[in-house]
Each structure stands twice: as C-alpha cells, then as structure tokens.
Amino acid sequence: MGMLRRFANSDLGYSFLHSRVVVAAAIVVAVVVVAAIGANALAPHNPFDLASLELFDALTPPAWEAGGRWIYPLGTDDQGRDVLSAIMYGTRVSLMVGFASVALSMAIGIPLGMISGYFGGMLDSVIMRFAEIQLTFPAILIALLIDGIVRTALPRDIHSDIAVFVLIAAIGFSNWVQYARTVRGMTLVERSKEYVQAAQVTGVHPLLIMLRHILPNVASPVLVIATIGLALAIVTEATLSFLGVGVPPTQPSLGTLIRIGNDFLFSGEWWIATFPSVTLVALVISVNLLGDWLRDVLNPRLNR
C-alpha cells in the first residue's frame, strides 16, 4: 500500500493518473497479461487437450449469435476448439516471444552500446558501422531471413522443437541496433561527467563503472525503447506466424490463430479470425500508447 501511495505521489504517478487514455491502455495490457499468464486456470477449456474436443461442436458461432452456446462464449474453430481459450493460450505464446526477444535485443544492444561509448576508438567504429549496415535492412526482413534460413537448414523434426527459440533469436537480433545507438549516445555524455571521472581516478574497474554508474543513468531511455520494442516484437511475431514461418502449429500464437481463421472468412465464420485480431490490435495499441506516454514523461526535452 505504501508503495502504491508513493507511486501516486511521484511525477510519474501523477501524470499516469491524470491521463485517462494511459490508464485505459494500462488496464487493457494488465487484463491481457493476466488472462494469458493464468490461461491454465482461467480458460474455460483446454484447446490442447484433444480428448475434450468435440468435432460435433466445430464452427459454433459466438454465444450471442443464432446457434451459439454460452459454453463457447466466442464460438469454436473448425476442430471444435473454443476460440476464447485458444486466444488466452495464444496470447501467452505471443507475449512470451515478445518479452524474450526484447530481452535478447537488450542483452545484445546495451553492452555493445556501452562498450562503444565508453572505450571509443576502433571498437566503437566497427560496432557502429555494423549497426548502421544492419539498420539499412528493415527489422522484419532480417527476422524473416534468419528464421527462414534456419528453418530450411534444420531437419524438420528437430526444427519444430526449437522453432520458438529460433523465432526469439531472429526477432531479438533484428532489433538490437536501437538500444546500442541510444546507449552509446548516453554513455558518451555520462562518461565525461565528474562522477565517472572520480570513479576512474579512484581506480574503479571500467566494467564496474559501466555496470554501477552508467547503466542506471541510461535506464530510462532504454525503458522507452523497450516498451515500443515490445509492441514491435509482438507484431513481428504475429506477422511471421501468419506467414507460416513463425511458431509451430502445436503452439499457436495470435498470428497463427489469425492465419487459421483467415481461411474461414469467405465461408462466413468471421469469429475465428476476428477475435484474435482484436486482441492483437488492442494489445499492440495499448503497449504503444504506454510507450509514447513514457517517452513524454521521462524525456521532458522531447515533449512537443
């Protein structure tokens, strides 16, 4: 409770509580995350339990439409899977891939950026040239190429086991440049400040200076990039899964569900694709709104 009150009294908390849009976005994200994490306990059905699937119930429309039943609130797909439960489990896959790939981007980008900014010289120019070259290719293309190449290079049975990790690696690697460039710029500024010089004079190891002194000071822009990066990662995952080169069919994500539902649009079963799509868009817009808000609050200089 005390922590909540402290948050409400801080600048961040004030700006949060006084923007209805941001509060709404945070609520959407919270609901989606809770529903995804708690899918095992909260979902009305287990879409992966083949024994519980009733083929007889396949293509049931949402409950409020003619022919719908309340045990399947959002209807079922062609195999009799409950759409709501599939969305909850699918969101879990989407969020997991999103968070993991953002973490990977950070794990690559932040150290490289700090090393670049702190030591400068040859190392700096090599890292930054590489970053610049990678930046000329759109992230989604790089992710698609890495994923596509690894997919074809590995035998099919091995691949489906590690497909999720390949996907995380592909998306994570395609987005590290942003972090590296920002952290490098910030490190350059911090390095010339007195507290860093004082640490250097007293003989603190450079690694320790970077970790203990510079890292905390570059945290807020990184948080902003990471939030917007999360939205981007979720979209990239959904896109690759929609194209059929993302997560394996045994672990459907939101993108996979939309891909499946897309085949039924023309025959009138609109609910199979629509509800996962709405979930995806609501999640991504909300995360983007939070990111925009964080940027405005943490960077008063950019506040236009």
Partner 1 sequence: MLGMLLRRIVESLIVLFAVAFIAFSLFSFIGDPVNNMLGQEATEAERLDMRERLGLNDSVIVQFTRFIGRAVQGEFGVSYRQSRPVIDLIAESLPATLELSFFAMVLAVGLGIPIGIQTAINRDSLVSKVLMTGSLIGISLPTFLAGILLIMIFSVKLGWLPSFGRGQVEQMGWWGTGLRTWSGIKALILPTITLAIFQMTLIVRLVRSEMLEVLQADFIKFARARGLRERLVQFGYALPNTLVPVITIVGLQLGSVIAFAIVTETVFQWPGMGLLFIQSVTFADVPVMAAYLLLIALIFVVINLLVDMLYYVIDPRLRSMAGL
Contacts with partner 1 by CB under 8 A lie at 129, 133, 136-138, 140-141, 144-145, 148-149, 151-153, 231, 235, 238-239, 242-245, 258, 262, 265-266, 270, 273, 277, 280-281, 284-285, 288-289, 292, 304
CB of 96 to partner 1, least distance (A): 18
CB of 71 to partner 1, least distance (A): 27
Q: From CA 185, how far away is CA 179, in angstroms rounded? A: 10
Q: Which is nearer to partner 1, 80 or 229 (CB)?
A: 229
Tokens of 261: 């539902």
Strand, coil or helix: what is 244? coil
Q: Which is nearer to partner 1, 18 or 304 (CB)?
A: 304
Q: Which is nearer to partner 1, 110 or 169 (CB)?
A: 169
CB of 141 to partner 1, least distance (A): 4
CB of 115 to partner 1, least distance (A): 22
CB of 161 to partner 1, least distance (A): 18
Judge contact between 94 and 237, C-beta under 8 A.
yes
Q: Which is nearer to partner 1, 182 or 187 (CB)?
A: 182
SS3 content of the chain, % helix, strand, coil (to 5): 75, 0, 25
Q: Which is nearer to partner 1, 20 or 304 (CB)?
A: 304
CB of 99 to partner 1, least distance (A): 18
Q: From CA 146, how far away is CA 168, in angstroms rounded? A: 11
Q: Which is nearer to partner 1, 7 or 137 (CB)?
A: 137
Q: From CA 160, how far away is CA 166, in angstroms rounded? A: 10
Number of helical (H) and strand (E) elements in the chain, helices listed first: 15, 0
**For the stretch 253-282, what's the b/e string if a residue is b when 16 or more beta carbons lie within 10 angstroms of its beta carbon?**
bbbbbbbbbeebeeeebbbbbbbbbebbee
Q: From CA 48, how far away is CA 35, in angstroms rounded? A: 17
